[in-house]
Structures are given as C-alpha cells and as structure tokens.
Amino acid sequence: MMLYMDVRYEGSGSDSTPDLVLVNRTTGPGEAALGQLCTLIAWHNADPVDAAEAQRADTIYEYQGNRNPFVDHPEWVELLYPADSCDDEPTDPEEPPVDPEDPPVGGASPLILTGVIDADLSGGLPKAVEVFVTRDIADLSVCGIGFANNGGGTNGQEYTFPADSAQAGERIIVASETSQFGAFFDSTPDYNSGSVSINGDDAIELFCDGEVVDVFGDPDVNGDYEAWDYTDSWAYRKSNTAPSTSFNVNDWILPGRSALDGESTNATATTPYPYKSFTAVQPELFFSEYTEGSGFNKALEIVNLGSQSVDLSAHSYVISVYSNGGNSPSFSVTLSGSIAPGDVFVVSHPDADAPLPEVSDQEASLNFNGDDAIVFFKDGEVIDAIGQVGVDPGSQWGTGDTSTKDNTLRRLLSVTTGDTNADDTFDPSLEWQGFANNTLDHFGIYGDGDPGDPGEPGEEFGACYDSATYISAVQGNADTSPLSGQTVIVEGVVTAVFPDLGGFFMQEEDADHDADPQTSEGLFVELADLPSGLQASDVVRVQGSVEEQYGRTILSTVTESAICGTGAVTATVISLPQDSIDGFEAVENMLVVNDTSWDISDTYSFIRYGEILVSNGRLYNPTQLFDAGSQDAVDYAEFNARNQLIIDDNRDGSDNAAPLLSIGDVGPYNPLRSGDSVTRVEGIMDYGYSAYRIRPVTDVTVVNTNVRNDAPVIADGNLRVASFNVLNLFNGNGDGSGFPTSRGADSFSEYERQLAKIVNAIVAIDADVLGLMEIENDGYASTSAIAQLVAAINAQMGAGTYEYISVGNGIGTDEIAVGIIYKPAVVTPEGAPELLTSANSIVDTDGPLFDDSRNRPSLAQAFVHSETRQTIVVDVNHLKSKGSSCGSGDDDTSTGQGNCNLTRTRAAQALVVWLNDTFPDMPFTVLGDLNSYGMEDPIQALTEAGLTDTARTILGDTAYSYTFDGLVGSLDYQLVNAAMGEWLVDATEWHINADELSILDYNEEYKTADFLNELVFRASDHDPVVATYQLDMAPLPGDMDGDFDVDMLDIRAFQMAIVRRQPLGSEYDFNNDGRVNMRDLVAMRALCTRRGCRP
C-alpha cells in the first residue's frame, strides 16, 4: 500500500499538498515521507500477492476505476525500487510503464512537454504550449511540435522551432498569438505561431530529429471528457517526471474542464496556470570511463546527465580507493569545480600520457590497480562503484579487455545511474565496454559512441552462412541467458515481424537445433528501424547484445544485420496443462501450435488489450470444487496455474490492432464468450507482463461452442422461481433526473439501456417468483427503482403480470437491497413479509450471528400457490462481499475463502434457524448472492443444516454463475429444505452474463456506438439461477373421496363413516368441539366447493 501511495499520490503541485516519498530511514512527524523503504521491499518479497489481494484489487477497480499496479505486476517493485533505492534519500519512482517491454524514453530528449493552455478570453485565447530544455542545445530547429486534433491521429510535426540555441533549464512557451497571451499572462511568449490553434480535446506531440520524444494526451482519442481534457483550462507536468512516448495521465496536474472559464488574467484566476514552474529530474553523477593503464595512465571520468550544472563544492563529492580487498580506503580525492549539463569531469594522474592532461579537469595522484575497488561518494553516500569493497578478486574483475586490469572501461550509454551498492558482486561486462590497454582517446567525450555494447573490438560480422552463435546457446537451459550482456552474431529464420512490438522474432533452422529440450531455439530481436522488406521466412544474420528484458531473452543494440535468403522452420506442438509452471520457458520466442482444442477461460482484457486466456477445459475456483484449505484445493490451484496461456494480439498497450480471430469483428451480435473453443492457434511464444502469451502469425480459429440461449433451457413445472443480481439498478430520482447515480448508471440514457436489458432478461426467465439483489434501496413509491422495474416488465407482458413485495419503511440502511417480484395470477402473498436483521438474529458471546451492518437484511415472504393451494416461502439474500476486509479473525487469508468469511458463515447459520422458527414445517427456498463458492464455509453451513443446492443437484459440481480472474464458480444460489426439495423438477444457471464480454453492458464509456445494445447478454455480471417445481395439491378439508372437491358424495361418505363407526381423525372435527360425530355435518356443508353441494 505504501508503494502504491508513493506512486499514485504526487501532491497537487503546491506547498499545501506535498508529494509523499519513501526513504530508508526513520521519519519525523509532519514530514511528507515514509521511512524504512528497504523493510517495505523485504516485506513485499516475503509475502507475494495472493488470490485474496488480487480479488480485492479487482473489486476496488470495479468501484473506483483505478488499480494498484503492484498487485497486478509485483515485479515492478524491483524495477521502480531497485537495490540502490535502499539509501537515505527520498525515492520518487516513475509511474509503472504502460508497457514494460517498451519503457518510457529517458533523459536523452533535449526538450520535455511541460504545459498546455486553452484559456477563455475572446476567441478561446490564449492557446499555448510550454516546453522545458533538459540540456544545452545549439540548434532548436531539430525539434518541433505536432497537434493531433479531435482524436484524428498524429499530424506529424507542424511547428518547427527557429534555429536558436537554448540553455539547460530554460522554459519556452509557443503561443498562437501575442496580444491575448500578453493580456492574460502579462508576459510575452517566447515564440508564436498560428499552428498552435489547439482546443482542449487535442493531443500534443513533441518531436526531435523527426521522432516523437514526448506526448500529452492520446492522438487517437478525442479528449472531450477524458481524464486529460483541458477545454477552457490547462494541464501542467508534475516536476521531476520524465518525458514518454506513452502518455501517463498521472504525470500531469489536471484541474479539469473549465478551470479558466470567465477568468480574465492568470494572476486573478481561482486555479492559475503554474507559469514556467517545472523543474526537471536531476540525476546523480556517476562514472562514465575508467582506465588502469601502464605507468601513470590512471584516470576516471564522471558524467552529468542532468539539465542543471552541478557545483562539486556544494556537496562533498569524494572518490575513494579500497586496495587489495580492504574495507577502509587507502586514499581519497575530494572533487572541486563544476560539471555542466551533459558534460563530463575527468580526474587523472598529473603524469599521465596525452591526451589525458589536455582533457583533465582535476589532477590527483591516482594510484590504483585492477584489484582495487573505487567508490564515488556524495555527502558520505555511495553514488557509484567500480569493483567490490572488501573483496580481493586476485588481479582483476572481469575478463579480456572488459576487465579492470591494464584496460580502459567505457560505460554503456544505456546505463544512466551508478551502482550504489559497493558491496555487491561486480561484473564489468554488464554495464561496461572494454578496450585495450592505454586506450585514452575518448576521455572528455560522452555520447559520441554507439549506445550499447558492440562486442569485442575488432569482432567481424562476417558473411551470410558463416559460423555464428547458436540461438540455443544464447537461450541456455535456465530462466536467464548464460550470455547476458555479451555481443553475439546469430543466424536463423524470421518467424514473425511485428513493427508495433519494435522488432522481429527469429528461430534456428530445424537442422541446427540442439539435443536439449530445455533450450529454446527462438529469439526476439529488438530493432525499431527494421530492414526494408523484412518478412517471415527470411534467413537473417544479426549482431547485437544479449539482454534479459522483463523476463525474456532478447537481442538488443543491433549493430549489423543482413538478409541472407529464405528458409522455413517447423512449429513446435505445445499442450496444456504444462508439466511445470515455467514449462514454456523451453519454447520462449519459438513458433508454436496447439495440440488440441482449448477453452476460452477469460475475455476480461480482450477489448482493451486484445488478450484472451485459454485453458484445457474451464478453470474453476478451487473452493467451488473442494473444501477450502484441503490438499485437493491446493493441488487444483497449482493445476490451474499450469493450465492457462494468453493469446495476445501483436501489439502491446490499449491502442490495439484488430485481433486475429477467425470469427471476425466481435460485437453484441457476433459474440466471443468464455467457454468458446480455440481449435487452432499458431504463433510465437512470447513472455511479457509476467505471463507467457502466443503472438499469432495467422488467424486464431475460434468456434462458438458455448452457444447463447435466448431463454433458460429448463423443464416445466407448475411453479418457477428465480434469482437475479441486477448489478446496481439505480433510477436516479425516478423522473429522469438525479444522474450520475452513486453506484449505477451515470446518465439517464445509460439507465434506460440497463433497465431494458434487465427487463428483457426477466421477461425471458418468466419466473412466478423472482428474487432481486443489488436494486436501489429507495423505497416502494411509484418513483422507486423496484416500482419502475415492475412497470417496465408489465409494459411488455401485460398490465398486472407482476407485482412487488413492499416492506413498509424499507430494508436496512445500505444503498442497495434485496427485493421480490411475483405473478399474482400464480401465487398470492400470505401474511406480511419478514426480515432477518441483527435485532432478531440468534446471538452468542460475540453478538448477533446475522450482522446487518455488513450483510443486507434477509427478506422472506410466504406465498399460496393458487393451483395447488400449497404454501411456500421464498427468502432472498445478499451476504457480505469478499471485496473489503472485516478484520483479523474474520477474513480468510489462507484458504482462499476471502474477506469476511466468518461474517457470511455466521449469517448462514442464523438464517436457517430464523427460517425454521419463523416458518415452521413450511417448504422454503433460500435465494440470492451469497458471495461464497460451493465448498466454502457459508454454503457448507447451509447444506449441513439440511438445505440442498438445486443447481449443484441438477448440474453437478461444475455449476457456475460468476467468473473472476478466469475462474468460474457459483456465488448465486437457490437452496431448498427437504419439503421444498421433494417438488424440485429442474434447475439451471442461465449464462447470459458471466461468459459475456463486459463491453456489452449498459455503460457508454470506452466503447463505440455499435457496442450499445438492449440484449439480455451482459445485463449484469452474475447469471440468474432458475428452478422449476411440481407442487402437489394441498389436502382439502372435507374431501372424503380424494377428488379435490367437497360435495354431497363427501357428505354421504362422512355419514356412513360415522354410522359404521370407522376411525376418523381430528381433521374431521369440522365444528371444533373436540369430537367427531354427526354434529360436524353442518360445519362440513359449509366446506362444499360446489353450489348446493351438488356432486
């Protein structure tokens, strides 16, 4: 949670709301910092995210719309809080990247977008864009700005800066004109151009050298009412955030639309634009070059990658040398002077050979050898290190030219921070490029070389089909490459070219595969500028650096490549489940094909990210099938983890290409449902976002095997009972106003669509009694949600078809409640409705077992069935959800039952006692969303008390009404006591919701008009549970001959029984005098069901 707070809450850009940061020390009161960062990281590593935390995060997301990135991606903690975060300085990480496989652009850009303005003076002026200069630039004309209007996509660079120079730290404003700008800001823009005629829904792109280096907003999205909308307003980048080609709204201060409405000057505005106030990240200094040459050729180079000059005298910058494995420095050098932005500072021995004396900024009697550790301190804290303090490596760290003895080491340009742990293992090949002894010509220069490791100097690329490193040797048979950090030349067949992923996949020719089944033969080559005409089946030769990037092995920093001819490889057949959780590591980056048909288990990420989750058979929640905490449940959870795989599109992020599905464009009338089948998928086994995924190279063959049913498929009886969670059906004020609602529709049009979908579903269910959950708790007047629901149903089915049970002053205090609607032609309420609350619950030493501050009150109503005269009871419930904690001892954090398990269990126990006491010996059914899977404690409590789960009885253990995180199970029930169970005919869970894409719901956000619909599918997120019963005719007093009426034949039969002195029970005491005799004939005549008692 603290890591989340650090990332998400960045302050408001003012002193009144400071930015929370994490530090590794004890903090004081009133300080906007939280201490002991390293302890938090240790706790994170020791306590991995479990199913309960993941479920809580998803539930929070449903209500709040934002997620905790460290629950979804625990590995981001290591990215954002690496080992060097464990110091005493504030740590303010960047937001987790949208696509970890393509991290945001770092500090290389000379400019950053920092502000955008769309004010409200005449003509909607001023309009302007502000940028910040990160480093000295001699010619601004290499950069420019583009304006993506109305979500129409990029227009490229439309404004080019003049050929002026700019200094690091400058802030530059480009406005559409000068007059209104001056009137509003009492200042003059640095430049003006009519191309800056932006509106608050337009995205902005910053270009340098023809490439996008920063972006505000989404060029492909009209910004109206998006989070970044700045209509009649402004947006300003938070200080100390970096540019990125993927827009991150959390990096910006956004006062919202109309913040400048009616404002005549910025100085008097209620929410003024923070004019030219941005300050940039100032990265720490670090070593950029090292030489341990012959004689006195000893030198160190330090680089400043920040946008501000560094005064070395303002802090204590010290270089210390630790000789021969010592733990105390043998000598130290205190630095003085300054380092300009982007410049270097060279410290060398005064007697060193040329060119060191000419480029040296400070001379010192440096005297170190290849086995000596060198540590760079700032105010006593380590900011970089070469070697390992306290360790004597013998003669050197590293091997060959990339070692610390008799060589020059040059820091790779991909490295932008120092090694702040001087005690950890040092391997120069990871961050340094090695050169031969006395290579001194690059001191005093930074950024002039190739940004990466080109390999050993003098290594020849060679010709096509010359010897090369086998891809299997690059991959190795472990999780990481044994050649990581080294430069290699590989040759193989291109299996897929994915420009949107920034490269291509290649695979070793079949004949060159090794004999180890654990080594992959595939590799991803990261190359943004792909060779012209490159396509699958090309044989290519590539030279680059082996790198482990977010869990997969890639070839990056490509220095040479050649297309050699054409070839082919065979797809490897894969199956589910895997033998082990990391079984696909052996085919990482390889061309694969499935061995048999797979089921689609989850479509949650399909629309936004183009992903579907497949498995061999549906994945069930372990506690749906097995006792919570049992070894069977544990084993099944492990089986689920091995039995799943993502099929992705070929583009990461939310701006997806059309997914490659054989069924074509998915929509309301061409569904993609969980439970459908993938009969064939051929593609590349990729790894990203902590999961294996197939990148298809051909269309994925999908078959709609989970066919929709327009109505429940169920056998008839003479009574049909159903339950339906209607997912926050709120009707505003009941008159078309009162939107957005607190939990349901955001507008009246959304409510109308939600109502239509639910009504259509209820009409198709055609239940005689139907229990409702999650309907607005706003009473029973004509403007109430339940009254308007019934009115809408009757508008379709006919006046008076349904009525609803009214409960006086309402049900509890929650915003949502349970309810009952019924057909008066089939059943008639008998007596008043009954409620189970804390007030009438059974109690123990801990208080009432039924806690109505957490569970919604239970609603029960007795009905007389008109046809059979039988009386039955329908009880409707909505128990506490798993989404929020009920505290220690209540939450089940160990066996998968989730939060508030004890609250639900106690409620179930109280419910059965209350029903038996309130309706003794009567048939009853318990309906509702019990928020518990089939083998969890609350359901076990109900079944142990004698109730039967109708759906499980008819459909078996694999019945389900809900899907979460790809796992299905039942949260919705219709349980019956023994008397009611005798009449059970059939039961089903009508899968109109759980298996459907969420985009088919009533909401209007984030979808095009063609997805809006009034179909029953995705009317809610829970499936309705429907059961039918065949009730027997109730015994009729006076019916002596059993023909279900009372007439003269029955009277004569009674007379003869009296005359013959046949035994008659007390039920024949019609006049209630305690005796059965002829005097009961008068009372019996009153029971006749036919006029005049005629037979």
**Which residues are paired to 599 by β-bridges?**
615, 677
Give the model's pLDDT for residue 33: 61
Task: Identify the residue with better confidence: 755 or 446.
Answer: 755
- pLDDT, tens only, 789-822: 999 999 999 999 999 999 988 899 999 999 999 9
Phi, psi of 26 (to 5 degrees): -80, 130
Give the model's pLDDT for residue 659: 65
Instruction: Evaluate whether 955 touches 1025 at the Cβ level (below 8 Å).
Output: no
First to last CA, the chain: 80
DSSP 8-state class, residue 738: S
User: CA 893 to CA 970: how far, in whole Å?
Assistant: 20
Residue identified by tokens 């060097």 is: 84
Give the model's pLDDT for residue 93: 40
Give the model's pLDDT for residue 1040: 87
* Exposed/middle/buried for residue 465 (C-beta within 10 Å: 0-12, 13-18, 19+): exposed
Average pLDDT over residues 271-296: 90
pLDDT at residue 115 is higher than 90? yes
Instruction: Evaluate whether 405 touches 370 at the Cβ level (below 8 Å).
Output: yes
User: CA 360 to CA 239: how far, in whole Å?
Assistant: 34
Domains and CATH numbers, the chain: 2-85 (no CATH), 111-253 (2.60.40), 286-435 (2.60.40.1260), 471-569 (2.40.50.200), 583-703 (2.40.50), 719-1029 (3.60.10.10), 1048-1093 (no CATH)
Average pLDDT over residues 639-658: 81
The amino acid at residue 341 is P
Give the model's pLDDT for residue 452: 34
User: CA 409 to CA 698: how far, in whole Å?
Assistant: 46
Q: How confident is the model at residue 87 (pLDDT cuts 50, 70, 90)?
A: very low
- For the beta carbon of residue 1081, count every other beta carbon within 10 angstroms: 14
Q: Which helix (H) or strand (E) holds 898?
A: none
**Which residues are paired to 836 by β-bridges?**
858
Q: How confident is the model at residue 41 (pLDDT cuts 50, 70, 90)?
A: confident
Whether omega for the bond prior to residue 357 falls within 30 degrees of 0, making it cis, is no
Residue closest to 252 by CA, chosen among 274, 231, 270: 274
Phi, psi of 79 (to 5 degrees): -70, -45
Give the model's pLDDT for residue 58: 57
Whether omega for the bond prior to residue 100 falls within 30 degrees of 0, making it cis, is no
> Could you give the maximum distance between any two Cα atoms of the chain, in Å?
140
User: CA 39 to CA 43: how far, in whole Å?
Assistant: 6
Provide the token pair at 904. Answer: 């639900």
Give the model's pLDDT for residue 1089: 87
Residue closest to 727 by CA, chosen among 750, 707, 706, 748: 750
- pLDDT, tens only, 402-460: 999 999 999 998 788 899 999 999 999 999 999 999 999 999 998 643 333 333 333 57
Provide the token pair at 882. Answer: 């798993």
DSSP 8-state class, residue 378: E
Residue 434 CB contacts under 8 Å (≥ 6 apart), including other chains = 398, 400, 401, 402, 403, 407, 408, 409, 410, 428, 456
User: CA 257 to CA 746: how far, in whole Å?
Assistant: 18
- For the beta carbon of residue 653, count every other beta carbon within 10 angstroms: 16
**Angular region, 1002: left φ>0, alpha ψ -120 to 50, beta rest:** alpha
Give the model's pLDDT for residue 282: 76
Average pLDDT over residues 318-335: 94
Q: Which helix (H) or strand (E) holds 25?
A: none
Average pLDDT over residues 754-781: 98
CA geometry: angle at 197 spanning 193 and 202, to 5°?
Answer: 130
Phi, psi of 915 (to 5 degrees): -65, -45
User: CA 976 to CA 982: how far, in whole Å?
Assistant: 9
Instruction: Evaluate whether 261 touches 232 at the Cβ level (below 8 Å).
Output: yes
Give the model's pLDDT for residue 378: 95
Question: Which stretch of 80-84, 109-113, 368-372 has the lowest confidence by average pLDDT?
Answer: 80-84
Strands 159-160 and 827-836, sheet pairing: unpaired
Average pLDDT over residues 844-849: 97
- For the beta carbon of residue 876, count every other beta carbon within 10 angstroms: 28
Q: Tell me the pLDDT of the chain averaged across its residues.
A: 89
User: For the packed helices 937-944 and 901-918, what is the interaxial angle rounded to 10 degrees?
Assistant: 20
Give the model's pLDDT for residue 8: 56
Provide the token pair at 442. Answer: 């690059």
- pLDDT, tens only, 1046-1069: 999 988 999 899 989 999 989 899
Residue identified by tokens 């939600």 is: 754
Instruction: Evaluate whether 414 touches 433 at the Cβ level (below 8 Å).
Output: no
Residue 977 CB contacts under 8 Å (≥ 6 apart), including other chains = 915, 923, 924, 925, 946, 947, 948
Give the model's pLDDT for residue 109: 76
Residue closest to 126 by CA, chosen among 196, 174, 194, 180: 180
DSSP string, 468-525: ---HHHHH-SSSS-TTTT-EEEEEEEEEEEEGGGTEEEEE--GGG--S-TTS--EEEE
Q: What is the percent of the chain with per-residue pLDDT over 90, rounded to a whole number?
A: 72
Q: How confident is the model at residue 105 (pLDDT cuts 50, 70, 90)?
A: very low
- pLDDT, tens only, 952-991: 999 999 999 999 999 999 999 999 999 999 999 999 999 9
Give the model's pLDDT for residue 454: 34
pLDDT at residue 29 is higher than 80? no
Whether omega for the bond prior to residue 355 falls within 30 degrees of 0, making it cis, is yes
Give the model's pLDDT for residue 99: 36
Average pLDDT over residues 845-851: 97
Q: How confident is the model at residue 167 (pLDDT cuts 50, 70, 90)?
A: confident
Q: How confident is the model at residue 107 (pLDDT cuts 50, 70, 90)?
A: very low
pLDDT at residue 218 is higher than 50? yes
Task: Identify the residue with better confidence: 907 or 343.
Answer: 907
- pLDDT, tens only, 999-1019: 999 999 989 999 999 999 999
Q: How many CA atoms lie within 13 A of 1071 on its CB side?
A: 11
Query: Cα 638 to chain center, whole Å?
Result: 22
Give the model's pLDDT for residue 81: 66
Residue 849 CB contacts under 8 Å (≥ 6 apart), including other chains = 841, 842, 843, 906, 907, 909, 910
